Structure 1
Amino acid sequence: MNEVGDEKIPIDDKFLRDTSINLLAAGRDTISSGLTWFFWLVATHPLVEAKILEEIKQNLPSRENNWKDLGTKGLSKLIYLHGALCEALRLYPPVPFEHKSALDSDVLPSGHKIKSNAMIVYSLYAVGRVEEIWGKDCLEFKPERWISKKGGIVHVPSYKFIAFNAGPRSCLGKDISFIEMKIVAAAILSNYHIQVVEDHPIIPSVSVVLHMKHGLKVNVKKRSI
């Protein structure tokens, strides 16, 4: 039984099963997809990589120390890394398409008429590359667009940055996804230099999850910072 305010909502086995499957499916492939595109972008933008490494060096324990006690407070200091992850998700959202169903007939700001019960499919991949929304540099990998003049993360409305969906139905796992991605990204980048294999084709494979058609082939070299 789940209590919402004064209302008690029954939870049956089907609900628990569906929720468990959703957590396993949505939290596995999406994060691996997002990190794959992130590592490719960082590997092909050495200045971004250098800034991330410097931030890790300034704010996290050295690689000789154990990171097991690293909490959200430490991760919150990785502002530039957070911006780089947001930028990767903007350009290559793990879920490239979404859909909504209209409860009532309506007219969109574009003038398109929508009938009740109509399903609208939209591309998160395309929205992240619209010049009118993101500016003339919309195709550039630019983590700085997420960082304010005061050095904090710029708040972007969910209806603009829709990698985690938008509004009251946005992804419940958004915060934990960023925590997981930050830990993995910081741990790997601080210990290894990643270099993409020369002439390896990078082509998006459009599906339910945005994978790389040929995977990401890299050479990995151990390092210390």
Structure 2
Amino acid sequence: MFIFITIFGFFAIFFLLRTLRLQNLRHCNCEICHAYITSSWRNDFDNLCDWYSHLLRRSPTLTIQVHVLNNVITANPDNVEHVLKTRFDNYPKGKQFSDILGDLLGRGIFNSDGDTWRFQRKLSSLELGSVSVRIFAHDIIKNEIEMRLVPLLNSFGDHGLDLDLQDAFRRFSFDTISKLSFGFDPVCLRLPLTSSELVDAFDMASTLSAHRALAPSPLFWKIKRFLNIGSEKKLKQSIDVINRLVGDLIKQRRKKGSGMNNNDLISRFMAVVGDDDEYLRDIVVNFLLAGRDTVAAGLTGFFWLLNRHPEVENRIREELERVMGPGLDPVTASFNQMQEMNYLHSTVYESMRLLPPVQFDSKFALNNDILADGTFVESGARVTYHPYAMGRMDRVWGPDCEEFRPERWLDSAGKFRPENPVKYPVFQAGPRVCVGKDMAIMEMKSVAVTIIRRFEIRVVGSNPISRAPRFAPGLTATVSGGLPIRVRERRG
């Protein structure tokens, strides 16, 4: 076995170097590629996304190319429209992307194309758009807030302890998406806070999957996967845990029975998919990952910004008192009340303009193409649109683009005014626009209402000069080191 591995390793390295040479990756020494390969960009920027924003801002077309990654990166709304709408069929997720995330996401909606994607999207749209599921989701969120989030904040406030708000939001959103998806309560947010095998496995798997995308060639991580060493060994172990635990949950749900009369999503998918448990696993894992990480990242960014802009928080509080009445109770708003909260709605959108939960997204070109700005894209190239960078482009959002200003989303009557999705692709655009957008916004607003109405929170050790947190590698925007806060209950 040792001899086999040694021989394989020799040939793997030979073919890796040959592939790199054929792709001219080793010979590109342009300024951008040199900085990427040597990581010299770290001398001036805390985050890769901030370096990309800097480069895109300097580009006349708001588009750059990282040749060593065969990647075109753009912050140009015209290019976003071209990729996500005009030439949608030429820019699928692609085999390269599905290879990177396939071990974790399988054939789920966020990692599939063609008929598989269309089937899941149609069913997801019908279910998430139904009145019964929306009421079910609102009740789950309300219960999680009243029975767990509020007691948690009270407990840490009473004892004067620092709380990692990002961790609390991840626990909160995992509880809610698990109950919505499985009808299963993992009790992640219940005191005393404990670790969860499934959550830990999700965290490790998503982080290590994201690392695959940063490699100059997929051969780097594919060799490690074949040899079952290093990060790929850890990734396999994490995915094995996910498969075992999710598989157990599916079996338990089958024993209880399924059908369209049950509101949890897995019951409804079971009624259509049938006995294919592996397919069900893929569908549910995609919902769990998206439903937890994106909402938690959005809420973390929201309160990171709010901490720096108390005037915005005060104006939201005034709106809450106008809509819900004065005082600290009730701590949760009804669905109809939230519809009246235009300024809060605008603040949520503005926070995600500057700190989107998913900082970038990529597609792969099936055929040679020319983007709207004239950039040539060869077949097989990766094309990345970058919502994080777009929020910082004055040619997209005006000279005040780096200011946190919710008013930009309000019309003259104070009503929320949406922007064109290709200018604000936080929820994508075109046929792949996020099916869970409205539910995610409802969850974010529900949490924001409770915390702003009942509590005062202040970020501990925040750098008032920094325009963005330092992010950890991952599929979503995760603040490195968390978001430690001090919390106290407001006086009525």
Question: What's the TM-score, normalizing by structure 1?
Answer: 0.88
* Shift, 1:199, TM fit: 4.7
Q: Distance in 2 between matches of 1:35 and 1:182?
A: 9
Give the direction of change, closer, same or farther, for the CA distance of 1:111–1:47 in structure 2 (3 Å limit): same
Q: Distance in 2 between matches of 1:65 and 1:175?
A: 23
Number of the residue aligned with 1:219: 486
The sequence identity of aligned pairs, in percent, is: 38
Q: Distance in 2 between matches of 1:35 and 1:85?
A: 9
Say if 2:320 is the partner of 1:56.
Answer: yes
* Shift, 1:45, TM fit: 0.4
Q: Distance in 2 between matches of 1:193 and 1:155?
A: 29
Kept in 2: contact 1:190–1:224 (CA 8 A): no
Say if 2:398 is the partner of 1:135.
Answer: yes
Kept in 2: contact 1:194–1:220 (CA 8 A): yes
Kept in 1: contact 2:394–2:401 (CA 8 A): yes
Number of the residue aligned with 2:38: none
Between Structure 1 and Structure 2, which shows a larger proportion of helix residues?
A: 2
Kept in 2: contact 1:97–1:208 (CA 8 A): no
Kept in 2: contact 1:93–1:210 (CA 8 A): yes
1:112-143 CA-to-partner distances (Å, cap 9, x unmatched) read 11123432123221111111010111111110
Give the direction of change, closer, same or farther, for the CA distance of 1:107–1:18 in structure 2 (3 Å limit): same
Which consecutive unaligned segments of at least 5 residues does structure 1 have?
Answer: 5-9
Superposed, which structure 2 residues align to 1:64-143 within 5 Å?
64-65=329-330, 67=332, 70-143=333-406
Between Structure 1 and Structure 2, which shows a larger proportion of strand residues?
A: 1
Q: Distance in 2 between matches of 1:108 and 1:206?
A: 29
Question: What's the TM-score, normalizing by structure 2?
Answer: 0.42
Q: Distance in 2 between matches of 1:144 and 1:224?
A: 28
Q: Distance in 2 between matches of 1:65 and 1:115?
A: 57
Aligned length: 217
2:450 to 187, 193, 210: 187
Kept in 1: contact 2:359–2:388 (CA 8 A): yes
Q: Which amino acid aligns with 2:295?
A: I
Q: Distance in 2 between matches of 1:96 and 1:175?
A: 19
2:282 to 18, 35, 51: 18
Which consecutive unaligned segments of at least 5 residues does structure 2 have?
Answer: 1-118, 123-271
Q: Distance in 2 between matches of 1:181 and 1:65?
A: 17
Number of the residue aligned with 1:7: none
Kept in 1: contact 2:460–2:485 (CA 8 A): yes
* SS of structure 2 residue aligned to 1:103: coil
Q: Distance in 1 between matches of 2:348 and 2:323?
A: 17
Which consecutive segments of 4 or more residues in structure 1 shift more than 6 A? Answer: none
Structure having the higher Rg: 2
* SS of structure 1 residue aligned to 2:426: coil
Give the direction of change, closer, same or farther, for the CA distance of 1:115–1:151 in structure 2 (3 Å limit): same
* SS of structure 2 residue aligned to 1:163: helix
Give the direction of change, closer, same or farther, for the CA distance of 1:65–1:86 in structure 2 (3 Å limit): closer
Kept in 2: contact 1:194–1:218 (CA 8 A): yes
* Shift, 1:63, TM fit: 3.1
Q: Which amino acid aligns with 1:99?
A: S
Number of the residue aligned with 2:292: 28
